[in-house]
Structure 1
Amino acid sequence: QIPQSVEELGATCFYECSSLTSVDLSRIKKMDTGVFWHTPLTSVEWPAAVTEIPANTFWGCHQLTTIKGIPSQPGAWDNITKIGANAFNECTALTTIKLPAELKTIDTQAFRTCTSLATVDYGTKLETIGDGAFMSTGALKKFFFKGSVKTLGANAFQESGLTCVHLKGDMIIGKEAFMMCTGLKYVEIPATSNASQPLNNVSEGMFAGCTSLPFITLPASITTIKANAFNGCAALKYVNILADSPATLAANAFDNTPKDIYVKASKLSAYQANAAWNALNLKDTYERTLTTKYATMTHDFPVEFVAANGREAMTAYVGKSTYKVTQPTKVQKILKMTKVNAIAANEGVILAGTPNTTYTYRIAETVATKLADNKVMPVREDTLLYQTEADGKSNWTLQPDYKLHLSENAKTIYCGRAYIHEQNEAGVQGAKSVSFALELDDNPATAGINTVEGNKKDNDNVYYTLSGVRVINPTEKGIYIKNGRKVIIR
């Protein structure tokens, strides 16, 4: 118990007090550094009068699980503007933290080696994340860089558990910021909106040793790739370059990676004329072998589907509308697919082709406009899908039987694929009896995705869609099959 007359706590005043598990800070107005360094505190209520957590305050408090403001003091905790260097370093029991609403600065190594820290929630005023601030936080899988964050220090997330990173164009990023993030699978580097935005380079060693990173797309605004930027990215097979002119490429930037460098077809010669880039494996065409008749795809760069290298162009469809067919035992929903020759970045498509055949596509020379009504949703990072989302719509995934099936709850869909997000049918409990099929706009026959039911008497009111869906008294306009012939419903 701190005496009532005490209002200030000096540097390291409780350092290594091995029996200190709780403390009353309600009358404290000032603290120096390292006050509770290496103590067994389990929870702390912070006083409103102290608006900065000094350096080393809770360093090595291995049992600390909770920190919040004193309930009876308005503004306690939320009024803190800075968390000092090493303030929570080695707080290995801390699993989640809601940072103060007014927080502007997380200083050097503030949360380093918080090995159980999985969730960090912060407000809209955080501007600076210091050097090594979240270094060696293996349980931290996600961290969202909100609009206020402007500076990310060197080694800020080195050896963390991050699986995806979405950067911002107005950030200054120090060297080795994500080095050795061995679980990292997706990085979004946005195109900056104007020349004054600082994210125009990949900093030194920024993603070095990220051994699970399979691809990276570098926007046209990246003008410099610094030394060792991707060195040791052992899974990095695709480097997608959107710039018309080759960026300055430093030594060892892509060493120890199995990469292919993809550029626009019209700019390949410019890269080949650059000695640094020509030493790499430059390509202008992607080749993809379909192992099934249908598949899904998305990319974080614009794509055009063109024939090249003696191969046919990949065939791709978007789904812009649906219609419903009510049958005696089920509701049949049809997604009408439209063939496209190009798509915008982050546009979901369904691919069609002959199994075990290789097709081609390229980075688009001109950027297509993303469709507002495409129901094929892109997956840019490994995502958990649920049958029904908060908006009342269901999620459907393409399965090996070439049908769209309602997703299982908490089912992972992997980066680079796509799914259908569509409204449930009213009166159908959980959409359990809804069957979902595709209708391709250029499908010439009934041999489509959905199998035609056998042993059915073909009465006068029975039709089939071009994709083989049995329809009774169709009301949707279009072409159908009736008694082996095509008919048009107007």
Structure 2
Amino acid sequence: MKQIIKKGSFFTLMFLLLGCLSLYAADNDLITRQITINLEKAGTLPNRIASSRKYKITNLKIIGEINGTDLKMIRDMAGRTAESNSTDGKLSVLDLSEAKIVEGGDYYYNDNYSNNNYYTSNDVIGSYAFYCCSGLTSLTLPAGFTEIGSFAFQGCSGLTSLTLPAGITKIGENAFSGCSGLTSLTLPAGITRIGDSAFSGCSGLTSLTLPAGITSIDYAAFFGCSGLTSLTLPAGITKIGSFAFQGCSGLTSLALPAGITKIGENAFYGCSGLTSLTLPAGITKIGENAFYGCSGLTSLTLPAGITSIGSYAFRGCSGLTSIYVYAEKVPKIGRDEFTGVDAKKCTLYVPMGTCDDYLISDFGNYFENIVEFDATGIDKTTTSTDVEEVGRYSVNGQRLSAPTKGLNIVKYSDGSVKKVAVR
């Protein structure tokens, strides 16, 4: 009897084991080597891959012309139908470096909300082309195309590697929104515009190279890019749009080129890690909430041409200890402009002969210490922790522990010495 039980147990165990292995093999029967398909005619990709195999391919290279029918198939293989429903597709690596996008064929995407169908155009990565294909990890795009459409890569959260070829001139709105897996991206020369929310939510992006020729950073372009630590903007940019860098809490350094005249509302809202910022002299207006919550800033310098500072622009900048204003005419400021700045700890420095003007203006509501300084010949703006006051003396050489009424001699960490009149 025991012998029979043992034999029965053995066969049961073998049956279960073989069953598990069979299921494991079925689930892992993937084609992992690169499959290269040379299309002699656009629209024929569905004819080249058997329906039983299209969800097994993980690495695909296509040579030749592709149209909407082919792109629809590619989306299917990458886990999303044209209606953005999930599939069993496992395509993660796609090489289109020797492909060419042409018009024609079926629609590749249908917008359920507007019921609009999207078709391919010559040399364009169209709107929603790879929308929500979160399984893609690497994508090499074809040469020769000029435009990336709106929402083209939105939601491609698995994408860690993307090569953009030369010749692109425009990146549409939300083009890379939600690509949280991207860690670095180089934009080729020739791009003149980055659309609204183009990189919003790219929280993994730590490095980004922007080419010369860009004239505007549009609305919410880098909203929520919390991993971005340093960004250099090229010359020629004249405007930083609203919400452009909101939530970029990892940003510690940002160089703004000459020529910028306006910083939009909420542009740097919540950039709590920002400690160094260079503002060009041409800025005349700072929008509402522009630097709200930038608690890491310790020193701020406003340019001579500044005429308007929006409400809440520096609210919550609790780390500020000194603010230098080079404008001889008191700028117009909004409500709660400096709420959260320590009135006792932070000193407001203003041009010689303007102390009373600033004292009786709205600035006087926020600062107890308003000190005049020699702003003659100064025509640049720097918000930085690099230059700090290191010593203060009376005209007789006596060391002063705080600003004292009369003429003070102030030494700074960069070696400069200035005479400051304190009233």
With the length of structure 2 as denominator, give the TM-score of the two structures: 0.64
8 A Cα contact 1:131 1:154, kept in partner: yes
Structure 1 residue 62 corresponds to structure 2 residue 157:
yes
> Distance in 2 between the 1:44 and 1:273 partners?
60
Structure 1 residue 166 corresponds to structure 2 residue 255:
yes
Equivalent position of 1:28 in the other structure: 101
Structural RMSD (CA) = 3.3
Kindly provide the amino acid, as one letter, of the partner of residue 366 in structure 2. L
Equivalent position of 1:237 in the other structure: 321
Equivalent position of 1:284 in the other structure: 371
Kindly provide the amino acid, as one letter, of the partner of residue 364 in structure 2. N
Kindly provide the amino acid, as one letter, of the partner of residue 211 in structure 1. S
Compare CA radii of gyration and give the structure with the larger one. Answer: 2
- Among 162, 166, 171, the alignment partner of 1:78 is 166
Change in CA separation of 1:32 and 1:257 when aligned onto 2, cut-off 3 Å: same
> Distance in 2 between the 1:279 and 1:185 partners?
25
> Distance in 2 between the 1:185 and 1:298 partners?
9
8 A Cα contact 2:246 2:267, kept in partner: yes
Kindly provide the amino acid, as one letter, of the partner of residue 208 in structure 1. Y
With the length of structure 1 as denominator, give the TM-score of the two structures: 0.56
Kindly provide the amino acid, as one letter, of the partner of residue 271 in structure 1. Y
What is the identity percentage for the equivalent residue pairs of Structure 1 and Structure 2? 28
Structure 1 residue 179 corresponds to structure 2 residue 269:
yes
Displacement of 1:218:
0.6
> Distance in 2 between the 1:277 and 1:93 partners?
44
SS at match of 2:356: helix
8 A Cα contact 2:144 2:166, kept in partner: no
Structure 1 residue 191 corresponds to structure 2 residue 281:
yes
Displacement of 1:205:
0.8
Equivalent position of 2:348 in the other structure: 261
> Distance in 2 between the 1:309 and 1:212 partners?
36
Equivalent position of 2:63 in the other structure: none
> Distance in 1 between the 2:178 and 2:366 partners?
42
Equivalenced residue count is 303
Map Cα deviations across residues 97-125 of structure 1 (whole Å, 9 max, x no partner).
11011111111111111111111112211
8 A Cα contact 2:176 2:202, kept in partner: yes
SS at match of 2:254: strand
Kindly provide the amino acid, as one letter, of the partner of residue 42 in structure 2. S
Change in CA separation of 1:271 and 1:61 when aligned onto 2, cut-off 3 Å: same
Displacement of 1:166:
2.6
Q: Which runs of 5+ in 1 are unaligned?
A: 70-76, 193-198, 287-296, 315-340, 352-360, 366-490
8 A Cα contact 1:11 1:32, kept in partner: no
SS at match of 1:23: strand
Map Cα deviations across residues 240-289 of structure 1 (whole Å, 9 max, x no partner).
11222211111111112214322235321221232x12222142179xxx
Displacement of 1:310:
10
Displacement of 1:179:
0.4
Kindly provide the amino acid, as one letter, of the partner of residue 273 in structure 1. I
Change in CA separation of 1:89 and 1:49 when aligned onto 2, cut-off 3 Å: same
Map Cα deviations across residues 45-68 of structure 1 (whole Å, 9 max, x no partner).
112232111111111112211122
Change in CA separation of 1:260 and 1:304 when aligned onto 2, cut-off 3 Å: closer
Displacement of 1:362:
5.5
Kindly provide the amino acid, as one letter, of the partner of residue 56 in structure 1. F
Equivalent position of 1:204 in the other structure: 288
Structure 2 matches for 1:350-389, cutoff 5 A? none
8 A Cα contact 2:92 2:136, kept in partner: yes
Displacement of 1:11:
12
Structure 1 residue 134 corresponds to structure 2 residue 222:
yes
Equivalent position of 2:181 in the other structure: 93
> Distance in 1 between the 2:219 and 2:69 partners?
26
Equivalent position of 1:47 in the other structure: 142
Change in CA separation of 1:61 and 1:350 when aligned onto 2, cut-off 3 Å: same
8 A Cα contact 2:264 2:286, kept in partner: no
Map Cα deviations across residues 434-468 of structure 1 (whole Å, 9 max, x no partner).
xxxxxxxxxxxxxxxxxxxxxxxxxxxxxxxxxxx
Displacement of 1:364:
8.9
